[in-house]
Amino acid sequence: MFPFADQIHSWAKAHASSSGLPDHTPSQQAADPVNTEKPPQHGQVNVQVEDPTLGSASETNSKPGLLIRMRNGSGRFYHHTTEAICHSWINVLLIFVPVGIACEAAGLDPAIIFAMNAVAIIPLAGLLSHATESVASRLGDTIGALINVTFGNAVELIIFIIALVKNEIRIVQASLLGSILANLLLIMGMAFLAGGLRFREQIYNSTVTQMSACLLSLSVVSLLLPTAFHASWSDGSHADRETLKVSRGTSVVLLLVYILYIIFQLRTHSYLYASIPQAIIDEESKPGVLAEFMNGSSDSSSSSTSQAPEPTMSRTAAVVMLLLSTALVAVCAEFLVDAIPEMIASSNVSEAFIGLIILPIVGNAAEHVTAVSVAAKNKMDLSIGVSVGSSIQIAIFVTPLVVILGWCMDKDMSLYFTLFETICLFVTTFVVNFLVLDGRSNYLEGVLLIAAYIIIALSAFFYPRSTESSVIAGSGA
């Protein structure tokens, strides 16, 4: 009996393969509950019929209408822009943007126009920085780094270019050195003070800091050499011409050094710029003088900020905000620079005070807030990176770039600074180099840096006008 059953089974399998049917036994078909389709009878062919409603529904879901996409995009754009504007308390000062424009349109006093537009630039600088970081984060590491480099000092560049077009060379020269002084003395001093009051001592990567300080010293020396070169000539007019040539050649060399510095920092030796692990920093930190007070206030703020993460902007919203904030900064900077000559003529404020103190504080306000806030959170590597890194960018990128732009515009923009500015820059770099050698900071070091900046500001306020200065002081123009 069993051999006969085996012959029937082999015949059924051969018949199924010859007729193109699947090789399923009745037991296999019963075990496959999914395949409920009946096998075709002899001479019949099963044809699968698609449901037209399913295809149309999938097309509708995959391709929404143009109006729906526009409405969704507009909603995301509004949501991201609102989050970016409400992200920082300093954006409350955005109300001064229309106020400054209205003051210029109404033709008010130049001092009022200068003050309103100076305050308006502060929140615009923060929005510009936020939009730059959002755009850079969505375009990859290489392009993002280039965008950060380009727009990192966009506010200062806009102010310098507008002042250069209007032939305010003394203001530009003083502002260039003033930006370095503000970053090294005021911003770093406030960071050391805020962090030192909360923690007894703060540690940071001394290797990176010493390397940055060394690069800053070399760049500062290259900026000061044209001034010493100018003093070597007896004929003033001939000295101006030759110093202009030396300044332009020095600027080209500094720009090449900056390109190598960017490659060194972002590509070849990026591992050197790694921060100390936060766990090690927190383990070695001890409470400072005002630790209880600052911990109480920071806990209440951190509890609210921990629930609200950093807002992420879409690419469209970030690009629009980047372009809009840049345009508004240019408008406010135009009105601000226009008001400087009349304000100087009608008040006791000197060009040195405006260039060395006021304009750098306005342009670096966003970086100031960032450096101090992260220092209070015991992140000194980031804080020092903001202050020292911005100083390096000003010294070996912005300053030579402005000289090259002046060359293209046929302006006598050189690196010949006054004796007062030269000594201030040299002493500042000298002091900062000594303070960052040990890799530790405290509040007394911050007080010393702030005190040095206040002394420089006080001297700049009473600095004589260009028509009243001595020959040895230098005109700087």
pLDDT by residue (tens digit) across 48-107? 444 544 444 444 455 566 777 666 667 676 676 777 677 777 788 889 999 999 999 998
pLDDT for residue 69:
67
Task: Give every CB contact of residue 101 below 8 A, 6+ residues apart in sequence.
Answer: 331, 332, 335
**% of the chain surpassing 70 pLDDT:** 72
- Partners of 251 in the β-ladder: none
pLDDT for residue 288:
66
Record the tokens describing residue 86, joined without a space.
């409400």
Of residues 44 and 245, the one with the higher pLDDT is: 245
Please provide the average confidence, as pLDDT, over all residues in the chain: 78
Q: Please say whether the beta carbons of 326 and 158 come within 8 A.
A: yes
pLDDT for residue 321:
83
Rg (CA), the chain: 33
Read off the pTM: 0.76
What is the number of other CB atoms lying within 10 angstroms of the CB of residue 241? 12
pLDDT band at 175; cut points 50, 70, 90? very high
CATH no. of 77-461: 1.20.1420.30
Rounded CA gap, 84 and 130, in Å? 8
For residue 24, pLDDT beyond 50: no
Backbone angles phi, psi at 441, to 5 degrees: -140, 155
Highest mean pLDDT among 25-34, 87-96, 274-283: 87-96
CA dihedral 308, 310, 314, 318 (to 10 degrees): 130
Question: What is the rounded average pLDDT of the residues 213-236?
Answer: 85
Distances in Å between the Cα of 34 and the Cα atoms of 44, 47, 54 are 22, 18, 20
pLDDT-wise least confident of 65-74, 103-112, 233-242, 374-383: 65-74
Q: Please say whether the beta carbons of 194 and 432 come within 8 A.
A: no
Rounded CA gap, 358 and 352, in Å? 9
pLDDT-wise least confident of 250-264, 279-293, 384-398: 279-293
DSSP state string for 364-428: THHHHHHHHHHHHTT-HHHHHHHHHHHHHHIIIIIHHHHHHHHHHTT----S---HHHHHHHHHH
Rounded CA gap, 65 and 52, in Å? 20
- Partners of 441 in the β-ladder: 202
pLDDT for residue 293:
66
pLDDT band at 471; cut points 50, 70, 90? low
pLDDT band at 149; cut points 50, 70, 90? low
For residue 358, pLDDT beyond 50: yes
Question: What is the rounded average pLDDT of the residues 193-216?
Answer: 84
pLDDT for residue 233:
86
Vertex 165 angle, CA 415 and 417, to 5°: 20
Task: Give every CB contact of residue 452 below 8 A, 6+ residues apart in sequence.
Answer: 185, 189, 427, 428, 431
For residue 13, pLDDT beyond 60: no
Question: What is the rounded average pLDDT of the residues 293-299?
Answer: 60
Rounded CA gap, 20 and 8, in Å? 19
Question: What is the rounded average pLDDT of the residues 461-474?
Answer: 74
pLDDT for residue 389:
84
Question: What is the rounded average pLDDT of the residues 104-126?
Answer: 90
Q: Please say whether the beta carbons of 462 and 201 come within 8 A.
A: no
Task: Give every CB contact of residue 90 below 8 A, 6+ residues apart in sequence.
Answer: 122, 123, 126, 365, 366, 369
pLDDT for residue 25:
45
Q: Please say whether the beta carbons of 168 and 232 come within 8 A.
A: no
Rounded CA gap, 170 and 175, in Å? 8
- Using alpha carbons, select from 165, 159, 172 the residue that is nearest to residue 124: 159
pLDDT for residue 474:
64
Of residues 285 and 47, the one with the higher pLDDT is: 285
Of residues 363 and 335, the one with the higher pLDDT is: 335
- Start-to-end C-alpha separation, the chain: 118
Q: Please say whether the beta carbons of 170 and 476 come within 8 A.
A: yes
- Using alpha carbons, select from 352, 343, 339 the residue that is nearest to residue 178: 352
For residue 324, pLDDT beyond 50: yes
pLDDT for residue 26:
44
Of residues 52 and 373, the one with the higher pLDDT is: 373
Question: What is the rounded average pLDDT of the residues 413-436?
Answer: 89
pLDDT for residue 318:
78
Task: Give every CB contact of residue 153 below 8 A, 6+ residues apart in sequence.
Answer: 363, 390, 393, 394, 397, 398
For residue 382, pLDDT beyond 80: yes
pLDDT for residue 36:
47
pLDDT band at 298; cut points 50, 70, 90? low
pLDDT band at 331; cut points 50, 70, 90? very high
pLDDT band at 309; cut points 50, 70, 90? very low
